[in-house]
């Protein structure tokens, strides 16, 4: 068990890193816990749009710059997957897969994760041809045949990104009519893309590695395609398990209930960023929340 810190921040995405900078500036002792890579979602797409003053900046670079700002202030990131958070008296006890920590307040900034593909074969072949991140893993499928499964704009963006790398991209659209038409037009113009509308995936094929996909359409029944990789793009679900034990903290979809400043109904537990129910999910908003939440801490930690 380590020393008690004032502020434990869970998640080093833009929300968590912004909160870390603000907490440091306010003079609190703090630690940042991150289970994979600082930057969060910024690592999973190419270009950051809509951040005032920055035109088409690299999302990954933006994340690296934020992380750099932390390291310049000697704010350490501790690696570990937070698995439980409990409150005893005035202290929070945070357990990760590698250690246990104590804090006076906790800021949850764990964001969201990709909604998983749940058909047979999908879980077993994750990392063996199934990937949820074209920007991270697309390079492994250069000149190969892949499928994108998804109906929204993000799925179309991923398909276009992969079409620039892969030999052929099959785009299975379970719910036609969701993505903007002009994106479908763009995709249709690419000679190495096949669009299959109204296709429901049924089974991932392959023993140790993806070799194909079985899917179904109302018109043609079950069909199979041979593939090297599959990119499900099915939306997002909250990363909220660690605080699932607290009562009345989640909405019906599992997102965290807190006000604009991140204040939840548990004293000292704050929820910011994409994890929040009804959050406006953009980098500028979550960075602003990271700053706002630290002002609230003064109500709990009296100095
Ligand atoms: C494809 C895509 C494109 C986007 N494009 C834009 C854009 O152009 N402009 C824009 O403004 N916004 C964009 N966004 C939205 C923006 O990236 C998010 O709003 C923002 O990243 C949310 O920040 P966050 O810190 O709340 O969560 P995240 O960025 O999701 O970070 C959460 C962090 O918590 C960590 N974590 C999760 N669980 C645990 C755990 N149990 N223990 C420890 N650590 C944990 C994760 O590893 C991650 O690093 C885009 C999002 C996506 C998915």
Q: Write down the pLDDT at residue 245.
A: 74
Q: Write down the pLDDT at residue 259.
A: 94
Q: Write down the pLDDT at residue 244.
A: 67
- CA–centroid distance, 34 to ligand 1, in Å, is 12
- CA–centroid distance, 224 to ligand 1, in Å, is 34
Contacts of 27 (CB under 8 A, 6+ apart): none
Cα–Cα distances in Å, from 188 out to 63, 152, 160, 215? 33, 15, 10, 20
Locate tokens 């993806």: which residue? Answer: 210
Give the closest residue to 146 by CA, choosing from 159, 135, 128, 127.
Answer: 159
The two beta strands, 47-48 and 200-205, are unpaired
Residue nearest to atom 14 of ligand 1 (CA): 282
Tokens found for residue 33: 């816990």
Q: Which residues' Cβ are closer than 6 Å to ligand 1?
A: 10-16, 33-36, 40-42, 44-45, 48-51, 81-82, 109-112, 154, 239, 242, 273-275, 281-284, 286
- CA–centroid distance, 156 to ligand 1, in Å, is 20
What's the angle, vertex CA 49, arms to CA 192 and CA 33, rounded to 5?
100
- CA–centroid distance, 233 to ligand 1, in Å, is 15
Q: Write down the pLDDT at residue 3.
A: 86
DSSP H helical ranges for 39-91: 59-72
Q: Write down the pLDDT at residue 1.
A: 59
DSSP H helical ranges for the chain: 14-25, 59-72, 134-137, 153-163, 181-188, 283-297
5 pairs with which residues across the strands? 103
Strand segments, DSSP code E, in 120-268 are 145-149, 168-173, 193-197, 200-205, 212-217, 221-226, 229-232, 236-238
Burial class (CB in 10 A: 0-12, 13-18, 19+), 90: exposed
Contacts of 141 (CB under 8 A, 6+ apart): 162, 165, 166, 228, 229
pLDDT tens-digit profile, the chain (303 residues):
568 999 999 999 999 999 999 999 999 999 999 999 999 999 988 889 899 988 889 999 999 999 999 999 999 999 999 999 999 999 999 999 999 999 999 999 999 999 999 999 999 999 999 999 998 899 999 999 999 999 999 999 999 999 999 999 999 999 999 988 999 999 999 999 999 999 999 999 999 999 999 999 999 999 999 999 999 999 999 998 777 678 889 898 889 999 999 999 999 999 999 999 977 889 999 999 999 999 999 999 987
- CA–centroid distance, 204 to ligand 1, in Å, is 28
Q: Write down the pLDDT at residue 298.
A: 93
Atom in ligand 1 nearest the alpha carbon of residue 96 = 42
Q: Write down the pLDDT at residue 283.
A: 96
Atom in ligand 1 nearest the alpha carbon of residue 275 = 26
Q: Write down the pLDDT at residue 2.
A: 66
Give the closest residue to 227 by CA, choosing from 170, 151, 160.
Answer: 170
Burial class (CB in 10 A: 0-12, 13-18, 19+), 166: buried
Q: Write down the pLDDT at residue 55.
A: 80
Euclidean distance between CA atoms 80 and 5, whole angstroms: 17
Cα–Cα distances in Å, from 45 out to 91, 167, 285? 37, 21, 18
């Amino acid at each position: 068990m380590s020393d008690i810190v004032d502020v434990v921040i869970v998640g080093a995405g833009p929300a968590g890193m912004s909160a870390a900078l603000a907490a440091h500036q306010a003079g609190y002792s703090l630690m940042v816990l991150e289970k994979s890579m600082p930057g969060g979602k910024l690592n999973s797409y190419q270009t950051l749009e809509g951040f005032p003053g920055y035109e088409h900046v690299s999302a990954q670079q933006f994340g690296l710059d934020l992380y750099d700002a932390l390291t310049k202030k000697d704010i350490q990131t501790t690696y570990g997957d937070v698995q439980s958070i409990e409150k005893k008296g005035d202290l929070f006890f945070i357990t990760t897969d590698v250690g246990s920590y104590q804090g006076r307040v906790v800021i949850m900034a764990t964001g969201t994760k990709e909604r998983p593909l749940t058909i047979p074969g999908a879980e077993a072949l994750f990392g063996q041809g199934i990937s949820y991140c074209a920007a991270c893993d697309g390079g492994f499928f250069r000149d190969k045949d892949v499928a994108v499964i998804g109906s929204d704009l993000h799925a179309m963006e991923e398909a276009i990104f992969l079409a620039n790398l892969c030999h052929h991209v099959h785009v299975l659209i379970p719910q036609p009519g969701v993505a903007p038409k002009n994106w479908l037009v763009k995709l249709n113009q690419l000679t190495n893309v096949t669009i299959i509308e109204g296709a429901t995936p049924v089974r991932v094929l392959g023993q140790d590695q993806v070799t194909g996909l079985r899917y179904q359409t109302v018109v043609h029944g079950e069909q199979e395609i041979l593939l090297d990789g599959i990119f499900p793009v099915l939306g997002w679900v909250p990363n909220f398990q660690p605080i699932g034990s607290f009562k009345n903290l989640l909405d019906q979809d599992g997102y965290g209930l807190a006000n604009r400043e991140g204040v939840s109904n548990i004293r000292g537990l704050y929820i910011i960023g994409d994890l929040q129910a009804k959050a406006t999910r953009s980098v500028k908003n979550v960075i602003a929340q990271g700053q706002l939440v630290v002002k609230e801490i003064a109500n709990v930690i009296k100095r």
